[in-house]
Amino acid sequence: MMCGTPLSPAPDLGPADTAAIIYTSGTTGPAKGVRLGHRWINQYCYTSRDINTADDVIHCDLPLYHVGGAFNLFGRAVWTGCTTGLWDRFSATEYWARIAKVGASATTLLDVMIPHIMSQPEGPDDAANTLNKMHIQPYTPRHHKFARRFGVDFISVGFGQTESGSVFAGVLDEFPDSQGTPAPLWKGHDKATYRDRVTALGRPVFDGREDLPKGIMGSPVKFFEVAAMNENDMPVAQGEVGQLCLRPRFPELILQGYLNKPEATLKATKNCWFHTGDAVRCIDAARNLYVFIDRMGGYFRVRGENVSSFEVESVILNIVGVRACAAVPIPAAIGEEDDIVVWIEPEPGMTLTHAQIDAHTLTEMPRYMRPKHVRFIDALPITPTAKVEKYKLRERILKELEAGDPVK
């Protein structure tokens, strides 16, 4: 055989052919294998690759066995012709050294990554770096503080998951009247061109200095019809909470099915809608702007009120000394509803007390939203994709309470 001769002919692939089997993160239960086609990869990368150029450098420290690292970061870079800096895991202490080493201009940060980076010692040159575009998921109220400290001009928000790909998108302009990234370090489209391309894609651009609704996801991308649905798959009224359901406008845009789980596939796709398992609220009359509320299973029912773990966590995160937190429901000690448990990870070297937490929640939360139990933990358990494993926290608190632990 001559050198360079292929071992076999290239396969004839089409949009419907399976390209990958990726497992979900498994934060609420056993991970499921998701069969994804080639067109799924196309739509997942579409809204992000259009705003990059070959001059950009993508920083990737997410695992390549999940969709964020494999496709939204590495796949997008390959499609666009970008250089990519790949790391085997996230490191808060080495984060900016890595950005500098590859000259990264774009990246993604998830969940607990931001508070871990923010807790590093501040320096006078924190903003002297190449990073000018960043995606965060889910939305965090700390975005503007992060952007101002590190000079990040654009922060994108949205909604995406293994099964659906990228469904919502929006962009926060953190420096509307200036530029945070030093001009000699800038890579990619200039600010005006970037904003124009974002707008042309139908994404809203928000002023990052303003107070935005908690959980803002932006607007639906053009490939999907979306709705917030009740338990009967009927759309809920504007402002009401429902499960995010979607229908692709073209074939093969979402999952092809769960691997060896036909019942789960049928349940997720009943009534010709894909059911994401996430609770959302539409906040504008045009049905074009949505906010994330919680996982459907992350909702609490307390004193006759629906309470979102996301809302509880947002209030707790405003307490000085809190690095990260997680709110989980457990069966109420009295009645048939839920009690709220909050697990708090303090900043390094900080000591927090139950009295501090009580004082803050007393003034900032309605009575039904206040946690019944508060626990401090050195580090929240997380998956390789930096998502908190809340089921482990729930199991732990139930064991503690069963053993008669007197701590609040």
Both structure tokens of 41: 């990869």
Q: How far is 62 from 76, CA to CA, in rounded Å? A: 14
Both structure tokens of 374: 């508060």
Dihedrals φ, ψ of 257, to 5°? 145, 165
Looking up tokens 């839920």, which residue turns up? 338
Q: How far is 366 from 378, CA to CA, in rounded Å? A: 28
Predicted local confidence at residue 201, as pLDDT: 92
Predicted local confidence at residue 297, as pLDDT: 67
Transcribe 330-397 into DSSP letters: EE-SSSSSEEEEEEEEEPTT----HHHHHHHHHHHS-GGGS-SEEEE-SS--B-TTS-B-HHHHHHHH
Both structure tokens of 325: 């937190």
Distances (CA, A) of 303 to 212, 231, 311, 359: 28, 21, 16, 21
Q: How far is 48 from 152, CA to CA, in rounded Å? A: 17
Distance of CA 170 to the CA centre of its chain: 13
Distances (CA, A) of 34 to 16, 43, 256, 262, 337: 14, 16, 7, 11, 33
Q: How far is 381 from 397, CA to CA, in rounded Å? A: 14
Looking up tokens 């798959």, which residue turns up? 233
Looking up tokens 């953190």, which residue turns up? 174
**Looking at this protein, which amino acid is placed at residue 80?**
T
Instruction: Return per-residue pLDDT of the chain as tens, 408 residues.
Output: 456 676 788 788 898 999 999 998 765 557 799 999 999 999 999 988 889 999 999 999 999 989 999 999 999 999 999 999 999 999 999 999 999 999 999 999 987 789 889 999 999 999 999 999 999 988 888 899 999 999 999 999 999 999 999 999 999 999 999 999 999 999 999 999 999 999 999 999 999 999 999 889 999 999 999 999 999 999 999 999 899 999 999 999 999 999 999 999 999 999 999 999 998 999 988 778 999 888 776 677 787 677 888 889 989 999 999 999 999 988 888 777 889 999 999 999 999 999 999 999 999 998 889 999 999 999 999 887 778 888 899 899 999 998 876 556
Predicted local confidence at residue 331, as pLDDT: 87
Coil, helix or strand at residue 228: strand
Evaluate whether 87 touches 61 at the Cβ level (below 8 Å).
yes
Provide the whole-model pTM.
0.82
Q: How far is 31 from 82, CA to CA, in rounded Å? A: 31
Phi-psi category of residue 269: left, alpha or beta, with phi > 0 → left and psi -120 to 50 → alpha: alpha
Q: How far is 79 from 73, CA to CA, in rounded Å? A: 10
Q: How far is 230 from 244, CA to CA, in rounded Å? A: 9
Q: Which domains does the chain have, with CATH numbers?
A: 18-220 (3.40.50.12780), 303-402 (3.30.300.30)
Looking up tokens 């338990």, which residue turns up? 231
